[in-house]
């Protein structure tokens, strides 16, 4: 007889899960594995609500395996450690991001790029080493291999810092890899949402001139006065857009919806770089002529390895960078998802798990 999510492991757990493509989440009893020698048991305090959670809950990418407990921006406290764990002690404040496992032995893992490992294990909606399903941070506890647990700096707020574990590393990693950190250079940030607002803060910390590119005129005051951007470009204003052509060294494109790339490419200088980190559910059209004639580069990037994610957290702690959040209770998650789908959040929902997740 097949075991249920509630009985397949010895440790009882409780969270909120989506059970079908409606994406509606509701209370869910399941279980976590017993601690292995390298494992850490974490009591979850906060979990950010990423746009990926919405895509996955509604199966918009086509590979959701229901039931699904989303959440991969987790901050919590260590409550127990396996016999071989030396990195963490009971009581440590820690973070868990988008991945909870990899093969650890391939060339990619040896380069500290575990997120690109062919056998990477995602924090939720993935198959764990033992063949069972992984469940995410919309839950009370999680068990994670110590290699994939991060030290969460004491001077970072646990709630507003949680989104850095996905949104933060998603924009930090490409900025570092593609050399988009040279002080004085001009960075465009396309889209001012969960990713974009962190990209603005990181860009300013690196000493860049930052311009927010948006379709919403309402975001100009927020971009400049609240987030510290140097300027704002309304993409629907043809005169201002024309004046900005060829003015940017780099653009980080955080837009998660289908959108034209040609206008963004046109904003780049010769040798400019357009790096996409949003994940639209349909292919985007990319014009080749402007790339060839301007020696421009279009690239992508997906979070970062564990070493770089720890580096990002330390950088953010040093520069007082955290997300702008709206703290919600677990039972507000469905209305939060509806608002997220309409981009009605400034700029990241975070679930107050410890104070609002009560098992029935």
Averaged pLDDT for residues 182-186: 97
Residues in the chain: 360
What CATH number does residue 156 fall under? 3.90.180.10
What pLDDT is recorded for position 86?
Answer: 94
In a domain, 169, yes or no: no
Q: Which domain holds residue 192?
A: 176-298
Averaged pLDDT for residues 147-165: 97
Mean pLDDT across the chain, nearest whole number?
96
Domain end point (choices 254, 272, 298): 298
234 and 266 belong to one structural domain: yes
In a domain, 4, yes or no: no
In a domain, 289, yes or no: yes
User: Closest by alpha carbon to 48, among 191, 178, 195, 183?
Assistant: 195
pLDDT in tens, 225-278: 999 999 999 999 999 999 999 999 999 999 988 999 999 999 999 999 999 999
pLDDT in tens, 328-357: 999 999 999 999 999 899 899 999 999 998
Helix (H) or strand (E) holding 310: helix 306-318
- For residue 146, pLDDT beyond 80: yes
252 and 345 belong to one structural domain: no
The number of folded domains in the chain is 2
What pLDDT is recorded for position 1?
Answer: 54
Structure tokens given for 74: 């987790």
- For residue 91, pLDDT beyond 60: yes
What pLDDT is recorded for position 256?
Answer: 86
Is the bond preceding 145 in cis, omega lying within 30 degrees of 0?
Answer: no
- CA–CA dist 324, 311 (Å, integer): 21
User: Which parts of the chain are beta strand (E)?
Assistant: 11-18, 25-32, 39-49, 74-81, 93-96, 99-101, 121-122, 141-145, 150-151, 186-190, 209-214, 231-234, 248-253, 268-276, 297-300, 325-328, 348-352
- For residue 169, pLDDT beyond 60: yes
- CA–CA dist 172, 177 (Å, integer): 9
116 and 254 belong to one structural domain: no
- CA–CA dist 271, 179 (Å, integer): 12
332 and 213 belong to one structural domain: no
Averaged pLDDT for residues 133-144: 98
In a domain, 1, yes or no: no
Torsional sign, CA 62, 63, 68, 70: negative
Averaged pLDDT for residues 132-141: 97
- For residue 360, pLDDT beyond 60: no
77 and 198 belong to one structural domain: no
Give percent of the chain above pLDDT 70: 99
Averaged pLDDT for residues 135-149: 98
In a domain, 158, yes or no: yes
């Amino acid at each position: 007889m097949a075991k249920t999510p509630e009985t397949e492991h010895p440790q009882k757990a409780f969270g909120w899960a989506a059970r079908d493509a409606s994406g509606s989440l509701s209370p869910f009893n399941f279980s976590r594995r017993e601690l292995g020698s390298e494992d850490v048991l974490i009591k979850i305090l906060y979990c950010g609500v990423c746009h990926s959670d919405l895509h996955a809950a509604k199966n918009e990418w086509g590979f959701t395996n229901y039931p699904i407990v989303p959440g991969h921006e987790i901050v919590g406290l260590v409550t127990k450690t396996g016999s071989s764990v030396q990195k963490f002690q009971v009581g440590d404040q820690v973070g868990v991001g988008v991945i909870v496992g990899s093969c650890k032995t391939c060339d990619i893992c040896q380069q500290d790029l575990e997120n690109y490992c062919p056998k990477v294990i995602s924090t939720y909606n993935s198959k764990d080493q033992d063949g069972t399903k992984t469940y995410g941070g919309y839950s009370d506890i999680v068990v994670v291999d110590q290699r994939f647990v991060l030290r969460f700096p004491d001077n970072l707020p646990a709630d507003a810092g949680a989104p850095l574990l996905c949104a933060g590393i998603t924009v930090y990693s490409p900025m570092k890899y593609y050399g988009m950190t040279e002080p004085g250079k001009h960075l465009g940030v396309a889209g001012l949402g969960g990713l974009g607002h962190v990209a603005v803060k990181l860009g300013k910390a690196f000493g860049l001139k930052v311009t927010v590119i948006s379709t919403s005129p309402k975001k100009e005051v927020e971009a400049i006065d609240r987030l510290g951007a140097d300027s704002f470009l309304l993409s629907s204003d043809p005169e201002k857009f024309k004046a900005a052509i060829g003015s940017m060294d780099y653009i980080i494109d955080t837009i998660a919806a289908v959108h034209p790339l040609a206008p963004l490419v046109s904003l780049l200088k010769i040798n400019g770089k357009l790096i996409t980190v949003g994940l639209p559910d349909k292919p985007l059209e990319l014009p080749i002529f402007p790339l060839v004639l301007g020696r421009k580069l279009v690239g992508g990037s997906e979070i970062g390895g564990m070493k770089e994610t720890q580096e990002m957290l330390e950088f953010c702690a040093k520069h007082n960078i955290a997300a702008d959040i709206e703290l919600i209770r677990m039972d507000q998650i469905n209305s939060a998802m509806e608002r997220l789908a309409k981009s009605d959040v400034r700029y990241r929902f975070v679930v107050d798990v410890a104070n609002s997740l009560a098992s029935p």
